[in-house]
Amino acid sequence: MKEAERERKGKREGETESKRERQRGRLREREREGDRERQRDRHAEREREGTEKKRQTDRDRKIERKNERGREREKGKEGGRDREQKREAERQIKRERKRGRQRETERQTCREREGGDRKKETDRQRQKDREKE
């Protein structure tokens, strides 16, 4: 009978140990779950902060681009005058070149005419020289 009682007690003691182990396991599991939740919360918070920073930098970049475009437009307006002046100068240069070409062709035609006259004169001179001989 004593053995039977010991077995019962042993079982009971074993059961109580297993209960304690189960409780400890549950506590550990709860702690782990709590740690996981805290870690998720921290990660989510960092993620939110990161996305907020990204959004802010995106906003800043957008504003900077907008300002840059505005500056380019202002330069463009000033540059528009400059461009117009450049175009006018180019047109003037083209006109001058055209006039220069026209003058050059006129000179050439005059030279050819004069040259032709000279040629005629030299031919006449040669003929006179031949006749004299």
Dump pLDDT digits (tens) for 76-89: 666 667 778 888 99
What does the pLDDT profile of the chain (133 residues) look like in tens digits? 666 675 666 555 555 667 778 888 889 999 999 999 999 999 999 888 888 888 899 999 999 999 988 888 777 666 667 778 888 999 999 999 888 888 888 888 877 777 666 666 777 888 888 887 7
Distance between CA atoms of residues 38 and 125, nearest Å:
120
How far, in whole angstroms, is CA 14 from its chain's centroid?
A: 73
Token pair listed for 104: 């050059």
Residue 79 has a CB neighbour count (10 Å cut-off) of 13
Distance between CA atoms of residues 50 and 55, nearest Å:
9
Please provide the average confidence, as pLDDT, over all residues in the chain. 81
Distance between CA atoms of residues 79 and 86, nearest Å:
10
pLDDT score, position 80: 64
With tokens 């599991």, the residue in question is 29
How far, in whole angstroms, is CA 60 from its chain's centroid?
A: 16
Distance between CA atoms of residues 7 and 4, nearest Å:
5
* Radius of gyration for the chain, computed over Cα atoms and rounded to the nearest angstrom: 54
**DSSP reduced 3-state for 27:** helix
